[in-house]
């Protein structure tokens, strides 16, 4: 297993729609395992493949608390086939929108259909944090982010903040490369 780099806002790949998996094979199983290790390392409760720059409909989730035994859920080609009218609100965060949290309302209960690790079609009902996590991760597969559920003003503020930070990181990296080039030039003289 390997820890994969997580892409963050404003990376445009986060807005891509992920493609369905044709078959659960060794490559998909390896991806699921790597994603789980990456999610635990981050740490987070859910991770969609697009967050590690793989545009496939693959999700891992584990809502077990720190003092509980891990209980990972592996979802390939997940889809919500029913959602309750009743809503619940959870404070959501995202590994691709680090250090930002907001309350988001979503259906309190959902029924999910997906392929498991063996490629079998499974359905299950989710409520509470698991229902929220499933919906959050499926949003990623459809090119969405939890900030899309916020007011336009809040969403624009978050996007601007992350775009500015990315620009600063780019400028810092460029300055480092320029400085390294100067050092190399002096070493050659």
CATH code of the domain in which 52 resides: 3.90.45.10
Residues 39, 101 within the same domain: yes
Residues 84, 164 within the same domain: no
Domain count, the chain: 2
Q: What pLDDT does 18 receive?
A: 98
Backbone angles phi, psi at 57, to 5 degrees: -80, 75
* Residue 130 · residue 54 · CB < 8 Å: no
Placement of tokens 């720190």 in the chain: 66
**How many whole angstroms separate alpha carbon 98 and alpha carbon 111?**
28
Residues 121, 159 within the same domain: no
CB-based burial, 60-93: b 16+ in 10 Å, e otherwise: bbbbeeeeeeeeebbbbbbebeebeeeebebebb
* pLDDT band at residue 183 using 50, 70 and 90 as cut-offs: very low
* Residue 122 · residue 115 · CB < 8 Å: yes
What average pLDDT does the segment 150-166 reach? Answer: 92
Percent of the chain residues topping a pLDDT of 70: 90
Residues 109, 166 within the same domain: no
Half-sphere exposure of 18 toward its Cβ, with a 13 Å CA cutoff? 28
Domain boundaries, position 171: 151-189
Stretch (H or E) spanning 149: none
Please calculate the CA angle 93-79-14 and round it to the nearest 5 degrees: 45
Give me 135's structure tokens.
Answer: 């919906």
Residues 104, 57 within the same domain: yes
What average pLDDT does the segment 117-122 reach? Answer: 97
Classified as helix, coil or strand, 14 is: helix
Ranges 12-21, 59-68, 158-167: which has the least confidence: 158-167
Residues 178, 137 within the same domain: no
Taking only the tens place, the pLDDT of each residue in 20-49 is: 999 999 999 999 999 999 999 999 999 999
Taking only the tens place, the pLDDT of each residue in 42-86 is: 999 999 999 999 999 999 999 999 899 999 999 999 999 999 999
Q: What pLDDT does 177 receive?
A: 52
Residues 133, 53 within the same domain: yes
Catalytic residues: 137
Q: What pLDDT does 1 receive?
A: 78
Residues 103, 172 within the same domain: no
Dihedral, 82, 87, 89, 93 alpha carbons, nearest 10: 30
Q: What pLDDT does 189 receive?
A: 45
Residues 138, 172 within the same domain: no
Quick check: is 95 in a domain? yes
């Amino acid at each position: 297993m390997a820890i994969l780099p997580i892409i963050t806002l404003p990376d445009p790949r986060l807005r891509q729609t992920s493609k369905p998996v044709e078959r659960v094979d060794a490559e998909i199983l390896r991806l699921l395992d790597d994603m789980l290790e990456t999610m635990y390392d981050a740490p987070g409760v859910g991770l969609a493949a697009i967050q590690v720059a793989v545009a496939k409909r693959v999700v891992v989730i584990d809502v077990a608390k720190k003092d509980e035994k891990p209980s990972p859920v592996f979802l390939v080609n997940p889809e919500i086939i029913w959602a309750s009218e009743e809503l619940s609100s959870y404070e959501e965060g995202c590994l691709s929108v680090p250090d930002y949290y907001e309350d988001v309302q979503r259906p309190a209960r959902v029924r999910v259909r997906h392929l498991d690790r063996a490629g079998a079609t499974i359905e299950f009902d989710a409520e509470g944090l698991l229902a929220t996590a499933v919906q959050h991760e499926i949003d990623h597969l459809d090119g969405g982010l939890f900030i899309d559920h916020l007011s336009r003003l809040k969403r624009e503020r978050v996007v601007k903040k992350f775009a500015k930070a990315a620009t600063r990181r780019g400028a810092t990296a460029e300055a480092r490369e320029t400085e390294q080039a100067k050092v190399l030039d002096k070493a050659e003289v």
